[in-house]
Amino acid sequence: VKTMANMQEHSQTLKLNRNKRTAITSDEIKTEDFVSARVGRKHRPEQLANLILDAHNMLPRRDHTATELRLNYILKWERLMDFGISYFIVKFDKAKKEELLGISRTHMSKFDLAPPHELLKTWHWTSLQSWNVNWEIKKLTFNVDGDSHSFECNSSEIKIVHEYIGGYIFLTLRKESDTELDKEMFYKLTGGWQ
């Protein structure tokens, strides 16, 4: 009987702790910092603030500040599979249809344009041997592991794709100990169109 009474008392304490608000109140929460504009239009700000506070109160530690919560959100967002990938609609020379090219900090990937956007091929910057752009016909050609691939970009100028590739290769080549940027190398990799 004592064990049951202790368990009941413990569960009531947990319920009280969940209902207690931390130092943050719903008036202090800027909902646009936590949810997208699309979600913000579907719900009233008071509703969203209460949902955010409920989620905040369910965290194991009760002493999180709003800044710590935002940082935690950003860190989880960065761990998402599609984080930091810029997409372009391209047409490879040997392909019959348009495809999706995703460019990220570590690699370049080719996806099927039709949903669910199946991954077709990935090329890492470390295996890229060379790339160049034919500015007259607006085609980018790159060589990876002895294979040559060429495409034209249909969703933006080829210059933008070239700048993304050059910028990410610059970041790949850069060492952590480098305190000063090698501006000449950066402009050489990203500014071939000038």
Would the pLDDT of 19 be above 50? no
137 or 69, which is more confident? 137
Classified as helix, coil or strand, 45 is helix
Cα-based angle 101, 106, 111 (whole degrees, multiple of 5): 20
Lowest model confidence (mean pLDDT) among 58-67, 112-121, 153-162, 184-193? 58-67
Classified as helix, coil or strand, 158 is helix
Question: What does residue 26 show for φ and ψ, rounded to 5 degrees?
Answer: -65, -25
Full-prediction pTM beyond 0.85?
no
Contact in structure between 111 and 98 (CB atoms under 8 Å): no
pLDDT for position 119:
92
Size of the chain in residues:
194
Read off the tokens for 183. 């501006």
What mean pLDDT is predicted for residues 166-191?
83
Contact in structure between 120 and 108 (CB atoms under 8 Å): no
Alpha-carbon span 144 to 146, nearest angstrom: 5
What mean pLDDT is predicted for residues 92-115?
93
pLDDT for position 39:
78
Would the pLDDT of 120 be above 90? yes
Classified as helix, coil or strand, 122 is strand
pLDDT for position 121:
94
Lowest model confidence (mean pLDDT) among 7-21, 48-62, 159-173? 7-21
Contact in structure between 105 and 169 (CB atoms under 8 Å): no
For all residues of the chain together, what is the average pLDDT?
81
